[in-house]
Each structure stands twice: as C-alpha cells, then as structure tokens.
Amino acid sequence: MFDIFFNAAAGLIAFFYGLIPDYSFAIAMVAVAVMLLITPLTLKSTKGMLEMQRLQPEMKRLQQQFKGERQKLNEAMMKLYQEHKVNPLASCLPLLAQMPVFIIMFKAIRGLTSRPTPDSPFVPQHLDQTSAIYRSLVGKTEMLSFGIDLAKTPVRAMQDDFASGLIYAFLVVVLAGLYLVQQRMIASRTVSPTMSASQAKLMQYMPVAFAVFQIWLPTALIVYYMMQAIIRIVQQQYITQRFYKKDGSLGKQAQAASATAREMKNSATEDKKQKSKKEINTSEPQTFISKRVTPPKNSSAAPARLRPRPPGKNRSSFVQKKNKPNK
C-alpha cells in the first residue's frame, strides 16, 4: 500500500545518482529536495506558534476568570481565537505532516542496502532494476563513498577496525553538534511561560540524544540527517530575520507576551503561597472539653451511695430496724 511512496523516494535518489554517480551526493541532494518541500510547512508552523504565544496573556486571564468552569473557558477561548483570527492547530498540523516524510525517507534509504543477512550481498528495494544505482549496488557488500561504507553502522565499523571506525563516530559527533546549534538557535528566542528551566534544558539536549542513537543505523542515514540539519540551521536563521529582527515584529510581540504570561504565572503562584501561609497563621487551635465530671475533693455533697455508713451499725441491725412494724 505504501510502496508507491517508498518507490518514489528511492526513484528520487536514483535520479540524482544518475546525474553524479556518488551515493553521498545523491542522498544529500534528496535531503535538500525534501527540506525545500517542507519549508513552507515549517514557516507556517512557526507563524502559528508565534500567534498563539502572542495571545498567552489573554489566555492566562481567561483561565483565572473562568477557573473551574471548563465549558465557559472553552467558549471564551474560541471567541478569542476568532477575534484574532488564530487557528490553535496551525502550529501542530504542519509538524505532523512532516512525520510521514521522515518515515518514507528512512525506509527508502535503508532499502538501498537491504540484504538477507548482515554479511550477504545487497538486494536493493524500491529501486528500478534498470537504474544505474541499482546496478551499482546489487550483489555488492559495500556502499563506498569517499572511502566510507555508507551501508555500515558506526558500531559495526568500530568493531571491525577501531582506528578506521573513528571516522564513522566522528560523523555522529558532527551530527550531534549540528543538532545542538539548531536547538540553541530556537531556545535563544523562545520564552515559554509553562516550561521550567530543567524542561527547557531537556528539550535542548533531546536532539543530541537522537544523534547518538544513529550509531546503530547505516551511515547513509547519518549523511541524510547531517544535510537536513545544515538546511534547518539556515531555515532558523531565515526565521530569525523574518519574524524577530524588526521591532514590533510578530516574534518580538510573541516574546513580550510570553514574558508577561510567565510573570502572571509566577505572581499567581506567589499569591497562592502567601494565602496558604496566612491561613495557617490565623487558624486557631481547637480546644477539647472533657465530658467526664469529677466530683470535688472533700465535698459533703457526695452521692448517697458513696457516703460512709454510721459507725457502730452493721447491715443486719439496719435491716431489722427497717422491717420493725410501727405501733
């Protein structure tokens, strides 16, 4: 069902290989083509995200006003979006649309060096058998480009020969560095009112962890992701120039609004703490009154059953006197 997409991606690789018969060049050119294809989606997603950030102070006020009233809050939010002509999904849908592209290219590039067992010859998938790249790969056990076997994983390369495998590890380090530069460019202009410092740092280093994961994947994919990372850095530079450079730009407004929303959140949190402390300090301790009544000491008003009997009298004489008939 999805083979048509995998075949199209592999056909694009074959096209660029036909222009210049080098695997790295073909894979890099495909990365450029894919990034040019999804750049409009990236710009649309960025614009939608900035428009949502610009409304954050208003959204915070509505959340405080309609606290505990979810239905009224949702109605007020929708009215706010309509007034400012903002689509809350505008920042999410373009990013979701990029996921199928990622999966298709991953499958197509891995299919170039498909083989039944790790040491058996290649049986390329999704390629036209008459294409030059198919004929150059079928029956081979290496996918050489500039002396590097793109079919080999960095882990396997270092296991075979540690010294020569360091170049594969170096490519992973370069990829991690590119991801880190890209993420810092994004973090330097983003102020999130809901994200803590630890969460922001975690988001900054997550792409680096993804790069390290590439040591178990073919080096051809590392080349593809490296080219994509370079183009993304250029994209982020363009986004900075377009949305953040001028005073009063959408990006500047979003930054100011995010800072205001963060101050509102911190102020609300501090007020809540102060209120809680005040309630604790002003609350009176409960007093407990015992229901047990203890008679006073040396009291003559002691109950009759507790009075001592008169001296010199015993129970028998007392009973006889009581039963003596009256004259």
pLDDT band at 255 (very low <50, low <70, confident <90, very high): confident
Please give the average per-residue pLDDT across 59-71, as a whole number. 86
Output the pLDDT for position 308. Answer: 56
pLDDT band at 55 (very low <50, low <70, confident <90, very high): confident
pTM for the model stands at 0.74
| Phi, psi of 90, rounded to the nearest 5 degrees | -65, -25
Output the pLDDT for position 21. Answer: 95
Output the pLDDT for position 325. Answer: 53
Please give the average per-residue pLDDT across 105-120, as a whole number. 87
Please give the average per-residue pLDDT across 24-44, as a whole number. 92
Residue 254 has pLDDT above 80, yes or no: no
